[in-house]
Every structure is written in C-alpha cells, then in structure tokens.
Amino acid sequence: MLRQKKINKGNATVTVLITVVVLLGCTVTGFLATIRRQNEVKNEQWRQKIYYIAESSVNAAISQINGVNKKIAQAPANGVGNIGTKENPQSFGGGTFYTTTLANQGVNKNIWIITAVCDYECYNGNLVATMKPVTPPLPGTSHGLYGGDKGTELNSNSTVDSYDSSQNNYSGNARQNGDVASNSNILVAANSRIYGDAQAAPGFTTIRAANTTITGTTANLSEPLVFKPVKLPTSITAPNIEYSVSGNNNVIPSGDHKYTSFSMRSNSEVTVKSPARLYITGDFICRSNTLFKIDNTNAGGVTIYLTGQFTMSSNTQIVHINNPRGWAEPGNFRVESTYETPNFSREADSAIILCSNTTFYGSAYAPDGTVLLNSNTDFLGAFAGRRVEIDSNARVHYDEAFKNKTDPNGEEGPLTLLKWDWTITKKNK
C-alpha cells in the first residue's frame, strides 16, 4: 500500500514536470514568435525607411537639375544631379545616400538616369530613376482650333471633327477629338457641329445658337491658353529677293530660302522640296486656282515663316506629293506668322486668310493676328490665332497625329519619370 502511494506520488511528480516542460515550451515558442514578429515589423519599417531615403534623394537630384539647367537636355554641369559620393555620402533620415546622374542617354540622347545608393540599419538600397524631359507641343496644335482674347467664332453650318493621319487619310468618318478652345467666348452659330470639346477660358463661356452639336464638354478650361511668340529664323539671309512666278514648272529646292515677298499668279504651280524653310519678310499670296505643292520624297517637311499676311485666294490648294504613307500628312507643312492684325473686326486685316473653296493640309499659327477660313474651305490639320473665325460651310478636320509633334524651337521642360527600378539587399552579418 505504501509502495503504491509512492508510485502514485512519483507519477504525479512526473506529470507535473511534463506539464511544466510543455508550458515552458509553449511560453518559449510564444516568446520566440513574438520576437520574430517584432523583428519582421522592425525590418519592414527599415525597408520602408530606406525606400523613403532613396526616393527623397532622387527627388533632391531632380530638383537640383530642374532648378539649374535652363535647357534640360544639356548634360549636368559642375556635378549637377550628383549629391554626395560613395566616399562621402550625405546623411538623411538616420541613414546615408549619394546620387549619380547620367545625361544624354539612349538613342535620341534625351534620357536621364539618376541612381540613388542608400544605407540604413541592416539594408542597402539602389533606386534607379529613368527620366525624360517634358517636351513642349508644337504651338497651335493641341486642338482643332483655338483662339485668343479677340474671339473664336464658328459660323452657320461649319464643322470641326478629327482624324489621325498616322493611320489613314480623312475619309469623312468623323472622330470626336475635334476640340475647340478660346481665351474668350466661343460663338457657335446655328447648325454648326463640333465633334469634340468646346471650352472657353475661366470667366468666359461657349454661346450656342439653335440646332448646334457639341459632343464633348463645354466646361471651362482650367487656365487660359498660352500663345508662344513665333521665333523667326533670322539666320536665313539668302537670296533675299522677291519671289514672283507664273506657269507650272516652278521648283524650290530643299534648304533655307529668304524672300522679301512671295507671289503666285493665277493658275500657276510651285513645288517645294522637303526639307525646306521659307523665311518671308513680307506677304505670301497664292492667287486663284493655284497649286502649292509639298514634295515629301525626303523627310523633314516645309515650314513658312513670315512677317506679313498669308493669303490663299479662292480655289487654291496645298497639295502633298510623294507621301511615304500614300496620303498627305498635315504635319509636313506649317505656316507661322508674326503679323499683328490692326483691326480685328476687319477680315482683310487677318494674318492668315484662306478664301472660299481652298484646301489646306498643315498647321497655321498667328499668335498676334486673325486666322480666317472663308466659306467652303477644307482645313486638315490644326490652327490657332489671337482671333479665329470659320465661315459658313467651312470644315476643319483636326489631325490627332499632332499630339505627338513637338516644338523644334522649344526649350525642353522639367524631367518627368519614365520608370523606377528598386532593389534592396540585407547586409551580411
């Protein structure tokens, strides 16, 4: 009996010991799990912190570049964009970093690569930002048409729609990106159609007559439109003569040409071989029934810069020949005028005048003058002026391909991000 009691007592002791061991094991396991969770939380906080340091250091380099370089495509001078060094990193947020900047990378020499190398607690991080400068659009081509502070007017039965010349020729299948904008009121007369937006600047409105169609928004622009001045190519100095022709066998070769005026007599033709720039210090006029041809055998297009008025008389045409895609692309012809309209209520004072029954493939820009399209004109491309007016039955077909055209005379703007590449590694103990 006594022995049995001893055995029972021993068993109880063993049971207690086992229970204690099990409880101790659970406690240790729970403690270790808590430690692991705490370490995971701490490591996640460290990973977030080192990314924050990396992101901040890249942004610091970008701010330094954008603040110093007027034209961003230039390589960084005097170490701009390089903050700290491997041997002497900068301190920030409890860690360290240094950045290196490479400019003029890529096929087009317009890619910037900024690398931030960071150190925080037990982690190393590398953030590589691939950047590209914002390139300004070609002035006057962001909308089908837009006007400045002197008015934008669409008369009865006029039409604005869109197409994309990079895909096909205009075939009458209207797309709905033929946007109209203005720094003053937009007047839309009866039976006119805008297949797109019609947006006036803050403080102004779109005024619609009966039976008008506007498929997009008429909400105000967020801010007024910017009219960039025309930059004349004053480096072009020859031949500096009057150009006046008749007949059909007139050819202007590729290159730069300066004329004091440009005149085509009725029923004549002129072919300009691309690439070419015509700098005219007077007026340009195509009299009735003329053809002004753009030969696109070679890339580069034709641009006319002038200080006087640009006039296409009735039944004249801008014709594109030898087109790579098999059809005319408005991006291959452009007119820029510095002419200042003296009286905006007088049509004859317009900077750019397309008379009735003309056809124009290209873009036209007159920031200080009126752009006028008379009745039954077909305009394929984009245009802008301080005042714009299209008369009854005129048709504007905005070329959406202009959205990808940039200003060759524009300074590139701030850097914008193309992609991030982030790598993080834990240090070896």
- Domains of the chain by residue range: 2-135+413-426, 145-404
Provide the 3-class DSSP secondary structure of residue 156: coil
Token reading at 322? 């030898």
pLDDT tens by residue, the chain, 429 residues: 545 555 555 555 656 566 655 555 555 565 556 667 777 778 888 899 999 999 999 998 888 887 765 444 444 444 678 899 999 999 998 999 999 888 878 877 778 899 999 999 889 999 999 988 877 888 999 999 999 999 999 999 999 999 999 999 998 777 999 999 999 999 999 999 999 999 999 999 999 999 999 999 999 999 999 999 999 999 999 999 999 999 999 999 999 999 999 999 999 999 999 999 999 999 999 999 999 999 999 999 999 999 999 999 999 999 999 999 999 999 999 999 999 999 999 999 999 999 999 999 999 999 999 999 999 999 999 999 999 999 999 999 999 999 888 887 776 677 888 898 999 998 876
- Residue 64 pLDDT: 82
C-alpha span between 42 and 45 (Å, rounded): 5
Q: Which CATH superfamily is domain 2-135+413-426 in?
A: GSPII I/J protein-like (3.30.1300.30)
C-alpha span between 379 and 2 (Å, rounded): 118
- Residue 11 pLDDT: 57
- Residue 75 pLDDT: 43
Owner of token pair 């580069």: 300
Q: What's the CA angle centered on 197, arms 193 and 201, to 5 degrees?
A: 120
Q: Where are the beta strands (DSSP E) in 246-290?
A: 250-252, 255-264, 269-273, 276-280, 284-286
What residues form DSSP beta bridges with 186?
A: 152, 206
Closest CA relative to residue 203, chosen from 226, 186, 180, 228: 186
* pTM across the whole model: 0.74
Q: What dihedral do alpha carbons 149, 155, 398, 410 form, nearest 10°? A: -20
Q: How crowded is residue 339: how many other Cβ atoms within 10 Å of its Cβ?
A: 22
Token reading at 270? 């002129």
8 A C-beta contact, residue 267 and residue 291: no
Task: Please give the DSSP secondary-structure letter assigned to residue 61.
Answer: H
Q: How crowded is residue 186: how many other Cβ atoms within 10 Å of its Cβ?
A: 26
Closest CA relative to residue 294, chosen from 286, 303, 285: 303
- Residue 65 pLDDT: 80
- Residue 118 pLDDT: 94
Token reading at 332? 């291959």
| Total length of the chain | 429
Q: What dihedral do alpha carbons 328, 363, 375, 170 form, nearest 10°? A: 30
What residues form DSSP beta bridges with 420?
A: 129
SS3 per-residue string spanning 377-417? CEEEEEEEEEEEEECCCCEEEEEHHHHHCECCCCCCCCEEE
C-alpha span between 198 and 180 (Å, rounded): 5
